[in-house]
Amino acid sequence: MRIFVTGATGFIGLSVAKELISAGHEVLGLARSDTGEKALAAIGADIRRGSLEDTAGLQEAAAGSDAVIHLAFIHDWSKMAESCAVDRRAIEALGSSLAGSDKPLIVTAGTAGLAAPGHIATENSDVPRDFPFPRVSEQTALSLKNVRASVMRLPQVHDTERQGLVSYAVAVAREKGVSAYVGDGGNRWAAAHVSDVARLYRLALEKHEAGARYHAVAEEGVPMRDIAQTIGRSLKVPVKSLSAEQAAAHFGWLAMFIDKDLMASSNETRRKLGWNPTGPGLISDLEHLTGAGPTG
């Protein structure tokens, strides 16, 4: 298949593109810059120059492909509502080109915020009415008419250089010389290695089921205390517990997540797709940090 991949130059997207190409598929990757073009050319992908705001370009690229994987998102926390609006319009544009065809569309979302504190989100967990985040990727994709859309929900996706939201915790620890958690640090975050996630995208595409919600979860929940302690050892900085009030000043915007349970399972995904994660765990990757933080 010829697959149009948005976000193909990103941390996860480039791994997905490599996985698809190694399995014999053709990839058309969206690139915003010369650097992105070079990265895609190096792995043998075709290039579509553009951005998420170029909805006409997205429609054209989708129309000329056999399937679409939407991974791109503008991660600007200062303009989150605006980023989510851009994402919604991009998904609607992609869907308009695929409507009435058998072409699959896989849209990326997250596992965070789907379950109550202390509970584990499953593939059957609906986005709650009081969903705490403005992102509407999943809701938009599954509301498209006559489009074979499915959703890939991501936890903290990691290697030794990047670790999702944990990357920002690493950056804060580097900046402030202390690795912290809140309270007893017993809240847990789901995680998966980027190589396993890339393979799951391919499986979800090749065995596509319209309306499905997949969980790219290898570890259901890694305790935040263990995460902070491992960061401390890797960076050789002290580790300490903070109160909720102290966390706001220490972590900034990350404080909205740092003491939350972000647990999820993937039992249904594994059963449906035969997915068996084999990559290193989050703690192992944090023990071998090589990146300089979330912008690395």
Distance CA 132, CA 256 (A): 10
Nearest by Cα to 154 from 116, 104, 204: 204
Pairing state of beta strands 179-182 and 156-158? unpaired
Judge whether 106 and 42 are in contact, CB under 8 Å.
no
Q: What is the H or E stretch that residue 149 is in?
A: strand 148-154
Domain boundaries, the chain: 2-155+192-218+265-278
State which fold the 2-155+192-218+265-278 domain adopts: Rossmann fold (3.40.50)
List the alpha helices (DSSP H) in 29-116. 34-42, 55-63, 80-98
Calculate helix-pair angle for 166-176, 244-251, nearest 10 degrees.
80
Tens of pLDDT, residue by residue over 207-216, are 999 999 999 9
| pLDDT attached to residue 291 | 62
Distance CA 150, CA 269 (A): 12
The two beta strands, 213-215 and 179-182, are: unpaired
> Cβ distance 134 to 212 under 8 Å?
no
Instruction: Classify 158 as helix, strand or coil.
Output: strand
Q: Would the CA dihedral through 207, 210, 212, 216 be positive or negative?
A: positive
Q: What pLDDT sits at residue 77?
A: 76
Structure tokens at 294: 């979330």
Strand pairing category for 104-110 and 2-6: unpaired
Q: How far apart (Å, rounded) are the C-alpha atoms in residues 203 and 44?
A: 20
What is the C-alpha to C-alpha distance for residues 185 and 199, in angstroms, rounded to an integer?
A: 31
Residue 22's DSSP bridge partners are: none
Residue 65, sorted as left (phi over 0), alpha (psi -120 to 50) or beta, turns out to be beta
Instruction: Look up residue 214 and give its two tokens.
Output: 């997949």
Distant-in-sequence, close-in-space partners of 39: CB < 8 Å, separation ≥ 6? 9, 14, 31
How far apart (Å, rounded) are the C-alpha atoms in residues 52 and 29? 12
Q: Dump the DSSP string for 220-248.
A: EEEEHHHHHHHHHHHHT--EEEE-HHHHH
The pLDDT, as a whole number, for residue 294 is 47
With a cut of 70, which residues of the chain have pLDDT below it?
A: 291-296
State how far the alpha carbon of 17 is from the alpha carbons of 47, 120, 155, in Å: 12, 30, 19
